[in-house]
Chain A
Amino acid sequence: MNDWENLFMNTDQHTIEDIAENFPVLSDEEKERIFAMSERKYNNTNNDQLHEQVSGVEVYRRPRWYKTAAIAAAAVLAVTGIGGSFYFISRNGSPNNKSANDVVETVTETSTDAEEVTTVEEDTTEEATYSTDNTDPEVLLASAYELTAGYADVYRMLQWYGLNVDESQSITFNPHLSYSESFDEWEINETYYKVTDERFKSIEDIKNFARQYLTDSVLGLTESDESGFPRTGFGSSFTSYFDYGNYSLCPTGERFELDQITDPSGEPLSFGFSDYIEYNGELYSKIPHQQPDEKFFGSEAEIVDSGDGWFTVQRLVTEHYCTFPTSDTGAPVWFRIVDDGGTWKIDNVDVGSPVEYDAYVMMQCYYDFLRNFSSAENSDTSDMIEVNGVSYAKYASSYTLGDALSGYAMEGISDPLEGIKEYTKLYFTDEAIDQFMPDLIGGKFITQDGTLYIRQDEGDPIFVSGEKPVFKWDMADIQENTEILSVSDDEISVRTVYYYADGTPFHTVSATIERTENSYNLFTSFIIE
């Protein structure tokens, strides 16, 4: 078997149903999120008008994305307008790149009772910083600021917040569709609003904007890491924003079969419902515009690796990003920047988990190894021995969720005690094992004739009673009961109070977790208070 990614290729319907029933994957949180999204879409569509409407003059202000590179010495540009003056921090706000790349923006804002118009004019006559001609580290860093800020703009524009639109100028397409003879027809209403951001007159303008910062590779591909787990990141979503589904080809209000609709090339027209369309030479979007948080990055850019024609920049992203909870510190994101025909561009985006989340995962692991070290959970009492007056039972894991210790102790390692040490290396540095493990597991295990035995300690806990957890061990509980004491590039210190399910405190643990490679994943200290 050489391609695990294709393990489930061509899965039949029966198997899909069986997997759905026996291996459900959605958490309650995920279900709630999806349900809320479906409700919003359902309600939005039901409230839409059925046919094209073009009227009104209210124009929304552009979002203030340009504060994303919130660096102290950012260039401050004057913005003038009737009714007041505003100061914007340029998103090119690196302290190092000001002279090389000032993108001057002039925003003129006009307001009356009935009308508010925003226009944006960009003067991009000066050289971009991200030319690859100059590889001076400071210039590279300036390019990194420019490119990562551009990434933030593109990400927000396409992923969450949309462009400024005039909601009074909208088009609603309502093709009537029929998927099979078994069901009645139904109609789909999709409403698009006219984009008012002067930078973008067409889909091509959006693509070209993104291509200033990103290679086509990062715009269109999904990659996998070495273990075959898919990466999260900007990746594959990009093309979905406008490459399929052209409603302008669909007559409004008419009824037709889905498969009968074809585009000019004869291909069946997809109802992928692009987020952006062009209609009568104008750009429309259906992304509900939202005002983004002002801060996208939580750290300055740092070049962490480089080679011939490429370098990698790390920045912390504080915006709610990917699937992780919002983080005060941020999630590390690694931007691989390459020489793309004489211009630096971001070629890959690799997203780590927020620092706090790493800590929560590690503190949750406490239950993992504590459970594996519990004689109440892992004893085969039909095989007992007594050594120096102390009772031991054959180690037999009943921990069905993560009997890692059993695996390490019993498979492939001749000395089970060495297996235990290997297992603990999943969580602790070597130094920490030497320092702290004797307190946790010292004397707990012995071997006899190659068999592993565990000491029968009355105080060892069980973890599940009547299919109910004995402890509060969900991530949400761990998160709620963990205090982040300090965070640095190398380590994070935390204190967690562990509780029984009934709310009685069990242990309080202070720990320091070391960062190795890209995540904080090894305890350097672990003290039960």
Chain B
Amino acid sequence: MNDSQLISLMNRSPHEGRRAFFEEFVGYVYAVTANKLRALASREDIEECVSDIFAELYRCIDRGLSGGDSDLKALVTVVAKRKAIDYFRRLSSPSFQDTFSIDDDCYADYASRDNVQAQTENKERNSILYQRIKELGDPDSSIIIQQFFYGRTARQIAAALEMSEAAVQKRSSRARTKLKKLLIMSGIEEGSI
């Protein structure tokens, strides 16, 4: 379903439309939110934030998105990031002033010219890192991503992947060892991440 169809559905049948909109974007919104909050937030906090984001998105769409100029993905991205930053501020109070790294996009103004090269290197390193994680293959790549990107516990991962908790812990440990070797082979120095 494309953007116009979604908006049309939301206008025609609001509840059904919100449901379809939610299904379309919830995975992405959750990923954006988890990426910003995992270091501070519990899973409940993240879910709370995601629900706030959708409530706000519904209101936003109610109030004026129509026609061909709408780009729902862009809107979702902006609202999700903003709301996640709000939550981050709340959760990290009172040291917010020192925490610009939460969202490089939104705090681009703080990035000096000297940081441009470092940011480029970061981006390259992160790209390699993600590729190596994917090369671990399932379920190891899923475990690593659920553990360190989404901030899930071993028990939660075990339930999601239908494995035992012990198996998750063992596999995570082995996957990290393997990942470390892959990264070193890729030229990423140990301790640089």
Contact = CB atoms under 8 A, between A and B. Distances in A.
Interface of A: 1-13, 15-27, 30-31, 33-35, 37-39, 41-42, 45-46, 179-180, 182-188, 222, 227-233, 235-237, 239-240, 243-245, 258, 267, 270-274, 322-323, 353, 361-362, 364-365, 367-368, 400-402, 404, 407, 411, 426-427, 473-475, 521
A30 B104 CA distance: 29
A272 B89 contact: yes
A322 B44 contact: yes
Residue among A8, A232, A245 with the highest chain B CB neighbour number at 10 A: A8
- State the 7 A-B residue pairs at the shortest beta-carbon distance, nearest first: A184-B64, A37-B51, A38-B54, A41-B55, A20-B31, A243-B93, A240-B90
B52 A239 contact: no
B35 A16 contact: yes
B4 interface: no
A160 to B, nearest CB: 10
Contacts of A18: 130
Contacts of B160: 25, 27
B87 A45 contact: no
A256 to B, nearest CB: 15
Nearest to A408: B170
A245 B90 contact: yes
B161 A401 contact: yes
B105 A13 contact: yes
A407 B90 contact: no
B193 A3 contact: yes
B95 to A, nearest CB: 10
Contact of B32 (A16, A267, A353): A16
Nearest to A20: B31
B169 A227 contact: yes
A10 B165 contact: no
A230 B153 contact: yes
Given A402-B162, A402-B164, A426-B166, 18 more contacts: A1-B192, A3-B193, A6-B193, A10-B122, A12-B126, A15-B130, A19-B149, A21-B28, A25-B27, A25-B146, A37-B48, A38-B22, A38-B54, A222-B39, A240-B90, A322-B42, A323-B44, A361-B155
A323 B170 CA distance: 23
A7 B193 contact: yes
Contacts of A270: 85-86, 89-90, 96
A270 to B, nearest CB: 4
Contact of B167 (A31, A322, A402): A402
B114 to A, nearest CB: 16
Contacts of B69: 182
B43 A323 contact: yes
6 contacts: A1-B179, A25-B150, A37-B48, A38-B51, A229-B154, A237-B91
Contacts of B55: 38-39, 41-42, 45
A271 B53 CA distance: 12
A34 B51 contact: yes
B170 A188 contact: no
The dominant DSSP class at the B interface is helix
A267 B44 contact: no
B124 to A, nearest CB: 10
A31 B63 CA distance: 25
Contact of B51 (A13, A41, A180, A407): A41
Contact of A364 (B43, B145, B162): B162
Interface string B14-52: 000011001100111011101100111111110110111
Contacts of B87: 240, 272
Contacts of B91: 236-237, 239-240
Nearest to B51: A37
A15 B131 CA distance: 10
Contacts of B35: 8, 11, 16
Contacts of A188: 56, 59
Given A31-B26, A244-B86, A9 B43 contact: no
B116 interface: no
Contact of B90 (A24, A186, A274): A274
B47 A239 contact: no
Contact of B138 (A267, A361, A400): A400
Given A37-B51, A473-B162, A244 B89 contact: yes
B30 A26 contact: yes
A254 to B, nearest CB: 16
A186 B59 contact: yes
Contacts of B45: 236-237, 240
B78 A38 contact: no
A41 B52 contact: yes
A311 to B, nearest CB: 26
B159 to A, nearest CB: 5
B166 A272 contact: no
Contact of B163 (A16, A24, A368): A368
B145 A23 contact: yes
A186 B64 contact: yes
A473 B55 CA distance: 34
